[in-house]
Structure 1
Amino acid sequence: MTIFLFALVVVFAGAFAFLNGFRDASASVALAVRTRALTPTVAVLLAGFFNFIGAGLSAALALAVSRTWVQLPPGENGLVILVAGLVSAVLWGIYTWWRGIPSSSTHALVGGLAGAGVASVAVGGNPVGGVDTSLLFQVALPLLLSPLIAFVGAYLLVWPATWAARYTPPNVVNSRARSAQSIAGGAVAFAHGLQDGQRTSAVLILALLASGLSDGGELPVWVALFTAVLLTAGTLAGGWRISYTMGYRLIRMDPLRGSVAQLFSSAILLVGAIGLHWPISTTHTVTSAVLGSGSNQRFPATNRKVVIRVLLFWVLTPLATAAVAFVLALSVSPLKDL
């Protein structure tokens, strides 16, 4: 039964990685396509290429993440928790994609693991260690801080950007901004692979530890390749429902403000991943930066109904996945006794 549960974790971890890339492609693609900096095909190929590189390099950080993230019970109990958490995150990701809502895969996964951990205790199993810390530092604080920093920073950066371009003809400004946006789109995709690739790799490491197939001393090569390939495949598939929301429904956007939003977003994500080792949501960061840079205009540009709906889903994400994972873990727990 242990091998069967481990295989389930691998299958749903792959689904999670694919869906992560599929949904979060919008972070690097939507604005570039909206402002005509890149064609849809080129934008997706660029995003897929840099996602693959970022996800491959994230393997170096995944071991540290698996040690400081959560501590699962050993054996089948831990594997059941992983299965329930992954399935709930995948189901929520599909639902939010269908609704065209940009939401955080990281928050969905952490919420799912928390709910499954509670279910484990309810049936007499061992709890998930460190989940309270993960909820604080990977859900609560990023939910409040990273969107706020991204929004305020992008809003303020529009002023020096427009001041520097005050004597430049609009067509030249737009051309330069589109070139900058092409670079920024690749940077966001690279940062996304670096940030989110860690999650899937860390889940697989936790599964190897729980099943006794690894001592966690080093990362197997297949884990890094598995994560990078599926994250890239999802990106190449491109979740255009969410891209349409970010590019056309949230706010009016021009090339200059689009380049400010993506350059600032990529800087936050790269500093968070490499410098501070913070798990920052790519979706929350980019969406907030888009709203911040787009709000700094002389005319109303924000679709408030869509923004309120997105914020509501951000708050609901960890709660919904925790509830679903709780039910799933209770349902799957009898498998441990077979």
Structure 2
Amino acid sequence: MSPELVAVLAVIIAAMVFDYTNGFHDAANAIATSVSTRALTPRAALAMAAVGNFVGAHLGKEVAKTVGEGLVQLPIGIPSLGIVFAGVLGAISWNLITWYFGLPSSSSHALFGGLVGATMVAGMGSVQWGNIVQKVVIPMVASPVVGLVLGFLAMVALMWTFRRGNPGKLNRGFRYAQTVSAAAMAVGHGTQDAAKTMGIVVLALYSGGYQDDISYIPPWVFWASATMLAAGTYTGGWRIIRTLGRKIIDLGPAEGFAAETVASSVLYFNAFVLHAPISTTHTITSAIMGVGATKRLSAVRWNVAGNILIAWVTTFPAAALIACLFHYIVGPLFA
């Protein structure tokens, strides 16, 4: 087995481990509201989310291209594979840290930060700062704002439309509706997050000299990324599910439906129109906050929201720093 093949396999395995951690770390994005409102049982919700992630993974080709070719440029060779390997390890580490503390941080930004940090410390290749600003920084700021505002407006519209409805019947109806909105959220999560792993695998294949076109995604990459994300999702990240479903606000079925509908719409727009790899975590969390603010501002537990915001801001640089440390450790193995 050639050194290039060993290096490529190491990166692919690390990418699949990241994909799995992404699944259980971000399972809450799709199901937290449905579980907290009792629209779905936990295991039924996880199974639906796993299937939705698997389906969505096959729709994220353009997002995968952005990750694979639009964030960093690396020369072909084993040292470049060491950079990617260290970047993915940095993202995995940050996922596990934030999962342990129950903080819904962005797996996407952890991956981007890890890649950028490892590339910078290696002193080879280049970071595409223009694309980072356009495809990462601007969506990182805009998507939570959009989610917050649209969540508020959507909930106001629902409250006005059904203001004369029977509360019991409405709750039952919105619980059924949440099955659809949660499924849409799961597909949107797969479209965004499995695509990021696909981009890493393609980058590894290209850097190792195993394919000439960095924009081509082999069919097996779709299936492997979809399967690992779905498997990770089904295990469930209960610490983060509790944070999103119970600690930010007390959700009812109508609020859950509004938050999921808004968040999934934002995910689809960015995936299919802008081809931007945004954070599903930021989007659903901000939508939940916007929906909760329609009750009263004090209904949102802003101290919990503040902790989440700190995790959002620190994810990119923290993952970059961890990836730098990993590159010092594993870099010599890829020399």
Fold-level similarity (TM above 0.5): yes
TM-score range, shorter chain: over 0.9
For 1:111 and 1:63, locate their aligned partners in 2 and report how far apart those are by CA, in whole Å: 17
- Cα-Cα RMSD: 1.5
Cα distance, 1:207 vs. partner? 0.3
Aligned with residue 278 of structure 2, among 267, 280, 300: 280
Among candidates 5, 10, 22, match of residue 20 of structure 1: 22
CA distances 1:219-243 after superposition (whole Å, capped 9, x unpaired): 2222111101000000111101100
Structure 1 stretches of 4+ moved >6 Å: none
Alpha-carbon distance in 2 for matches of 1:148, 1:119:
32
Deviation of 1:59 after TM superposition, in Å, equals 4.0
Is the CA contact 1:272–1:279 (under 8 Å) kept in the aligned structure 2? Answer: yes
Residue 2 of structure 1, aligned match among 1, 4, 10 = 4
Asked if structure 1 preserves the Cα contact closer than 8 Å seen for 2:63 and 2:196, the reply is no
Whether 1:194 and 2:182 are equivalent positions in the alignment is: no
Are residues 23 and 62 of structure 1, via their aligned partners in 2, closer, same or farther at CA, if it must alter by over 3 Å? same
1:141 maps to which of 134, 138, 141: 138
Structure 2 residues not aligned, in runs of 5+: none
Given candidates 53, 58, 61, the residue that maps to 2:60 is: 58
Give the secondary-structure state (helix, strand or coil) at the position aligned to 1:256.
Answer: helix
Deviations 1:119-174 (A, max 9, x none): 111xxxx23341x2343134321221100000011112211110111111001111
Is the 1:76–1:336 contact (alpha carbons within 8 Å) kept by the matching residues of 2?
yes
- In the alignment, is the contact (CA less than 8 A) between 1:119 and 1:327 conserved in 2? no
Shift of 1:299: 6.9
Q: How does 1:84-233 map to 2 (within 5 A)?
A: 84-121=86-123, 126-130=124-128, 132-216=129-213, 218-233=216-231
CA spacing shift, 1:316–1:285, aligned 2, 3 Å: same
1:154–1:171 CA distance, 2 compared to 1 (3 A): same
Alpha-carbon separation, structure 2, partners of 1:228 and 1:58: 10
* Alignment coverage as a number of residue pairs: 332
Query: Helix, strand or coil for the counterpart of 1:57?
Result: coil
Q: Is residue 154–residue 261 contact of structure 1 (8 Å, CA) maintained in 2?
A: yes
- For 1:290 and 1:64, how far apart are their aligned partners in 2? 28
Give 1:71 deviation, angstroms: 1.7
Matches within 5 A, 1:286-301: 286-298=284-296, 300-301=298-299
- Structure 1 unmatched ranges of 5 or more: none
